[in-house]
Amino acid sequence: MALLGRHAVRRTPAIAKPPRAARPHMAGYGMPRGIKGLLPWTWAEQRLRRSHNYWVMTVRPDATPHAMPVWGIWVDNRFYFSTGAKSRKARNLQANPACVVCTERTAEAVIVEGHAAIVSDASVVQRLAPLYHRKYKPWKLDPEMGPIFEVRPRVAFAMYEKRFKDATRYRFDAGAAKRRGRKDRKEQ
């Protein structure tokens, strides 16, 4: 990994491991207990792949939120998007890599919370570029036009309006989080 500012830049592609599914903690919503009725990861992943527009939420240095729509691709359990180097979201992510990515259809919402880093490895960009071009033809994923960010998810939520009680929380790479000494805390 190389460093950009205070944050590491990833140079290797992610290895996709399916996340662990559980019921989200939603106090006051009367959610059932147990795992019966959870949405399968394939349901959420399909929406992450097929969404045309995504919302990316970042945090400004003064701790106020910033949201902006972007184009992007979901590959190997990672979200990739590009933006201008001087854009507000790029500057926010360089100061604080925590972010949220949401799909465009709120009736079938998928919300990803994670951390972003700039992709600098040319082989990774080369692998992603055809996927991006196929989705957004004639546009290309070009690091010369601005940084390409990889969002590595920590947790994701899936909510299907027609079956709200099936709301699901997915945890990514729980083993690595435990090895780093993080507590497994409840998420909303």
In this prediction, residue 112 carries a pLDDT of: 98
Contact call for residues 149 and 34 (beta carbons, < 8 A): no
23 falls within a domain? no
Query: CA 42: distance to chain centroid?
Result: 15
In this prediction, residue 179 carries a pLDDT of: 43
Secondary structure of residue 141 in the 3-state scheme: coil
Look at residue 98 and tell me whether its pLDDT is greater than 80: yes
16 falls within a domain? no
Q: Whole-angstrom Cα distance, residue 126 to residue 122?
A: 6
182 falls within a domain? no
Q: Whole-angstrom Cα distance, residue 159 to residue 94?
A: 30
**What is the extent of the structural domain holding 121?**
2-11+36-173
28 falls within a domain? no
In this prediction, residue 15 carries a pLDDT of: 54
44 falls within a domain? yes
Q: How many domains does the chain have?
A: 1
170 token code pair: 């997915």
31 falls within a domain? no
Per-residue pLDDT tens digits for 37-81: 899 999 999 999 999 999 999 999 999 999 999 999 999 999 999
Q: What is the CATH number of the domain that holds 78?
A: 2.30.110.10
